[in-house]
């Protein structure tokens, strides 16, 4: 009898673990606000969100999605 309870308990724990893995964490909501993920930055030119490692940093510490947009922003600023 004790064995059955034990098996049931183990099965229950395993089930819960598997369920958790499949449902994922509920806080992975993609609401890209300014301070959300530390790795996402917004292009100062077109407002596109880019990974920080892919973004290009401008002279005034702003990020740009591409070299073109960085240059475009600089031209706009100077002009
Ligand atoms: Zn851009």
Instruction: Pick the closest to residue 55 from 78, 79, 46, 29 (CA basis).
Output: 46
pLDDT in tens, 19-61: 888 887 656 555 544 454 468 999 999 999 999 999 999 988 9
- The answer to the question of residue 28 being in a domain is no
- The answer to the question of residue 15 being in a domain is no
- The answer to the question of residue 25 being in a domain is no
Q: Measured in angstroms, how far is the CA atom of residue 28 from the centroid of ligand 1? A: 25
- The answer to the question of residue 23 being in a domain is no
- The answer to the question of residue 71 being in a domain is yes
The domain of 73 spans 37-79
Q: Measured in angstroms, how far is the CA atom of residue 44 from the centroid of ligand 1? A: 7
Domain count, the chain: 1
Contact 43, 34 (CB under 8 A): no
- The answer to the question of residue 24 being in a domain is no
Q: Measured in angstroms, how far is the CA atom of residue 10 from the centroid of ligand 1? A: 52
The residue behind tokens 């002279």 is 59
- The answer to the question of residue 43 being in a domain is yes
Q: Measured in angstroms, how far is the CA atom of residue 25 from the centroid of ligand 1? A: 31
Q: What does pTM read for this prediction?
A: 0.49
Q: What is the pLDDT of residue 79?
A: 61
Instruction: Pick the closest to residue 38 from 50, 49, 52 (CA basis).
Output: 52
């Amino acid at each position: 009898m004790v064995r059955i309870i034990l098996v049931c308990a183990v099965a229950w724990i395993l089930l819960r673990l598997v369920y958790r893995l499949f449902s994922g964490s509920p806080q992975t909501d993609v609401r890209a606000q300014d301070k959300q993920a530390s790795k996402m930055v917004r292009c100062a030119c077109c407002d596109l969100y880019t990974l920080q490692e892919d973004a290009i940093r401008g002279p005034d510490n702003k990020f740009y999605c591409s070299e073109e947009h960085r240059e475009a922003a600089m031209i706009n600023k100077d002009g």
